[in-house]
Chain A
Amino acid sequence: MSINDVLNSSYIKWMDSEEGNRDIVISSRVRLARNLNKIPFPHLLDQANGEKCLEQIRDAWKKSSGSVLSSMDMVTFDQLSALDRQIFAEKHLSSPMYAASNSSLRAILVNDNGSLSAMVNEEDHLRIQCLLPGLQLGECYSRVQELDDEFEQKLDYAFDENRGYLTSCPTNVGTGMRASVMLHLPAIQMTGQLNQILQNIGQLGLAVRGLYGEGSEPVGNFFQISNQITLGQAEEDICNYLQTITEQLVEQESLLRERLQTDMKYQLEDKIGRAYGILSNARVITSDEALTLFSAVRLGVDLRILKGISLFSLNELMVAVRPAHLQKRGGREMDTVERDIKRAEVIKEKLTFVQ
C-alpha cells in the first residue's frame, strides 16, 4: 500500500477490530513530538529554515537503514489536494488543524497499512505516531519507539537533560508523548453516569475529547482519552496509567451493558433496531446524526442483537461518511446538502451489503 492506496481506500489498520476488548476500545494511539536542535520551531519558521528542517528529515528517511522508516512513503503538502489532506486527517493520520495548509514545508510520512505515520513541520518539526486497533498502548509505544530510534540515527534532536525532549509548546515537553485511546461508551451514557465519570477522569490528569481530538466535541458516545502530563513521568508509566484507567472504564461499560440487557431488554433492542432502521432507509443524513446512530448500531453488534454486521465495516463507515471521504468517493466537490445525500447512500450500500 502506498500513499495513494491509503488515500483511495477507506481501509486503514486501526479499523481491524474483531476480538477482545476491541468493541469498547476502538483504537489506541501513541504520538511523540520531536524537534531538531537549534532550528526555530515551526511557528517561527521562514522558508530557509523550513526547507532545512524538511531536507534533514527527508534525508533521514531516504538514507535510513532501518526497516521501519525505509518502508514509509513521504509526500509534501503542496503535492496533495486539499481533499487528500483532509482525508489524512479524517483517517486520524494527520492533525485536522493543519489540513488546510498547502505549504511545501509540511509533509506526511505513512507506512503501508497506515499504522505508523509522521508529520513534518506541524506544531513541532516531527510528530510520529502509531495507531492500532483495540487496546494496544504497549504495542503502539514500542513500535513508535522503533521509528523514533531510526529517525534519531540521522537527526540531531533537541533534548535537554532536565527538560527532556524540547517542544514548541511547554505542555508537550519531557517525553513529548501523548498516549490516547478511542472509546465507545454508550451504556455509561444511557445510564446517566457519563458526566460524573468524565469529571473524575479529568481529575486523574487525563483529558477527554471527541473523535477528532483537540477542539472536537464528543458525538455519538465516542471519546478520546489521553494523558496531559508529559514531564516527570516515564513513557511506560504514562502508558500503564492510561491502560489501567481504560481497563476500568471498559469494565464499568461492560457491567452496565449487561445490566441494560437484563433490566431494559425491550427498550434497548428498540433503540438499536430503530437506529438500524433509520440508517438503512435514510435518504438524507447529517454527520452528527449518522454518528449517533452508529453508536446504537455498534452497541447492537457488540451485544449480538444485530447480526451480520462486522465491527470492521462500522469502523470503516465512521470514516467513509466524513466530508472528504464522501467527496473522494463521489469524485467531485459537494456542498453540505449533497454530502448529506451521498452519506445516506454510502451507509445504505454498506449496511445492506453486509446483511
Chain B
Amino acid sequence: MFCEECKGKPATVHLTQVFNGQKIESHLCEECASQKSGFIFDSVNKFSIPNLLGGMFGANYSMQNVSTISIPSKCPNCGMRFIDIRQVGKLGCSECYKVYEQELEAPLRRIHGNSQHLGKIPVRGGEKVLIRKQIEVLKNKLQEAVKEEKYEKAAEIRDQVKQMENKLS
C-alpha cells in the first residue's frame, strides 16, 4: 500500500481518527504523517525523554471528544504550538497551561494519576485561591449554624461570605 498523500512511498502509518462518531482511516508514509499530524517519527532517537513525554501529549487521537475541542493554533504569550510541546515534551510558559488546559488534562492524568493540585499555595499569586478556600470553609460553617438553628450567627457568616466574594470580583 502506498501513502495516500505523496503516493510515492509505502504507507507505514495507519491512523484511525473518530470525528463525531465517524471513523476516518488514513494510510500515510512517515514523512507525510509527521507533517500532517505533528506525530513524532524520529526513528533515530525514538526513546529520548522529550519524545516519550511528547508521546504522552500525543495520544489524544481517537478519543470521542476530539472533534469538540478546537486546539488553539499557538500560545499568544510565547508562541509555542501544541505540536511543539509534543515534540520537546516541555511547555513554553505559564500561559501555555491556560491555553492548552483541555489538551493537558489527559497527559497530566497519565503522568501523575491526577490533574488537580494539592499542597502549597503562594501568598501573592494565590490570593484569590486562598480567599476561595476561606469562602468554602465559611460556607461549611454557615450550614452548620443553620442546622443548629443559630440564625444570628448564620447571618453574620453570610455577610462575611458576601464580603469575600466581592473581593474576588
B8 within 8 A of A: no
Which of A152, A163, A169, A171 meets B117, CB within 8 Å?
A: A163
Q: Which of A36, A170, A233 is packed against the most chain B CB atoms within 10 Å? A: A170
Asked if residues B117 and A170 are in contact (CB atoms below 8 Å), the reply is: no
Chain B residues with Cβ below 8 Å from A225 are: none
In the assembly, what is the distance between CA of A162 and CA of B114, in Å? 11
Using CB atoms, name the residue of chain A closest to B128. A161
B119 within 8 Å of A (CB atoms) = yes
Asked if B80 CB lies within 8 Å of chain A CBs, one says yes
Which residues in A have their C-beta under 8 angstroms from that of B121?
A: 159
Mark each residue of chain B from 107 to 150: 1 if its CB lies under 8 Å from any CB of chain A, else 0. Answer: 11001111111111111111011001000000000000000000
Interface of B is mostly: loop
- Tell whether, in the assembled complex, residue A232 and residue B114 are in contact, meaning their CB atoms are under 8 Å apart: yes
Q: Does B93 contact A (CB under 8 A)?
A: yes
Chain A, residues 143-177, CB within 8 Å of chain B (1/0): the string is 00100110011001111111111101111011101
Beta-carbon contact of B108 and A175 below 8 Å: no
> Does B46 reach chain A (CB closer than 8 Å)?
no
Assess whether B97 is interfacial by the CB under 8 Å rule. yes
B56-99 Cβ-contact flags toward A at 8 Å (1 or 0): 10000000000000000000011010000000111111110110
Q: In angstroms, how far is the closest chain A Cβ from the Cβ of B67?
A: 24
Q: Is A40 an interface residue (CB 8 A)?
A: yes
Shortest A183–chain B CB gap in Å is 24
Asked if A38 is at the interface (CB within 8 A of a chain B CB), the reply is yes
Question: In chain A between 228 and 243, which residues have their CB closer than 8 angstroms to a CB of chain B?
Answer: 229-235
- CB-CB under 8 A from A174, the residues of chain B are 112, 117-119
Q: What's the nearest-Cβ distance from chain A to residue B169, in Å?
A: 16
CA distance A37 to B125 in the complex (A): 9
Interface centre among B116, B120, B122 (most CB of A within 10 A): B120
A171 CB to nearest B CB, Å: 6
User: In the bound complex, do residue A44 and residue B94 qualify as a contact, i.e. CB atoms below 8 Å apart?
Assistant: no
Q: Does residue B53 face the partner (Cβ distance < 8 Å to A)?
A: yes
Q: Which listed residue, A36, A157, A233, touches B118 by the CB 8 Å rule?
A: A233
A38-B93, A39-B93, A41-B92 are known contacts. Are A163 and B119 too (CB-CB below 8 A)?
Answer: no
Does A224 sit at the interface, judged by CB under 8 A? no
B13 at interface by CB-CB < 8 Å: no
Given the interface pairs A37-B94, A158-B94, the reply to whether A231 lies near B108 with Cβ below 8 Å is yes
Q: Which residues of B contact A165 (CB under 8 A)?
A: 117, 120, 122
At the interface, yes or no: A265 with Cβ under 8 Å from chain B?
Answer: no
Contacts of B129 in A (CB 8 A): 161
- Complex interface: chain A residues within 8 A of B88 (CB): 43
A35 at the interface (CB under 8 A from B): yes
B32 within 8 A of A: no
Chain A contacts for B123, CB-based, 8 A: 149, 152
Q: Is B104 an interface residue (CB 8 A)?
A: yes
Bound CA–CA A171/B91 (angstroms): 11
Partner of A162, one of B53, B56, B91, B116: B116
User: In the complex the two chains form, is A232's CB within 8 Å of B94's CB?
Assistant: no
Distance, CA A189 to CA B22, complexed state (A): 56
Contact A159 B125 (CB under 8 A): yes
- In the assembled complex, the CB of A246 is this many whole angstroms from the nearest CB of chain B, namely 20
B94/A164 in contact, CB under 8 A: no
Q: How far is the CA of A35 from the CA of B91 in the complex (A)?
A: 12
Q: Which residues of B contact A39 (CB under 8 A)?
A: 93-94
Contact B112 A41 (CB under 8 A): no
| List of A residues within 8 angstroms of B124 by Cβ | 152-153, 156-157
A230 interface neighbour in B78, B80, B95, B112, Cβ under 8 Å: B112
Please determine whether B80 and A44 come into contact, CB atoms closer than 8 angstroms: yes
Set A41, A148, A152, A234: member contacting B119, Cβ < 8 A: A234
Contacts of A171 in B (CB 8 A): 53, 111
State the Cβ distance, B16 to closest chain A Cβ, in Å.
26
* A210 CB, nearest partner CB in chain B, Å: 16
Q: State whether A229 and B93 are in contact (beta carbons under 8 Å apart), knowing that A44-B78, A170-B107, A171-B53 are contacts in the complex.
A: no
Which residues from chain A contact B115 at a C-beta distance below 8 Å? 162-163, 231-232
Q: How far is the CA of A232 from the CA of B124 in the complex (A)?
A: 21
Complex Cα–Cα for A58 and B146 (A): 52
Question: Which residues of chain A are near B91, meaning CB under 8 Å?
Answer: 41, 166, 168-170
Please name 15 further chain A to chain B contacts, defined as beta carbons within 8 Å, in addition to the given A159-B126, A164-B120, sorted by A numbering. A40-B77, A159-B125, A163-B115, A164-B119, A165-B117, A165-B120, A165-B122, A169-B91, A170-B53, A170-B89, A173-B97, A174-B118, A174-B119, A231-B111, A235-B120
> What are 10 of the A-B contact pairs (CB < 8 Å)?
A39-B94, A152-B122, A159-B122, A162-B115, A166-B97, A229-B113, A231-B108, A231-B111, A231-B115, A231-B116
Q: Which residues of B contact A (CB under 8 A)?
A: 53, 56, 77-78, 80, 88-95, 97-98, 104, 107-108, 111-126, 128-129, 132
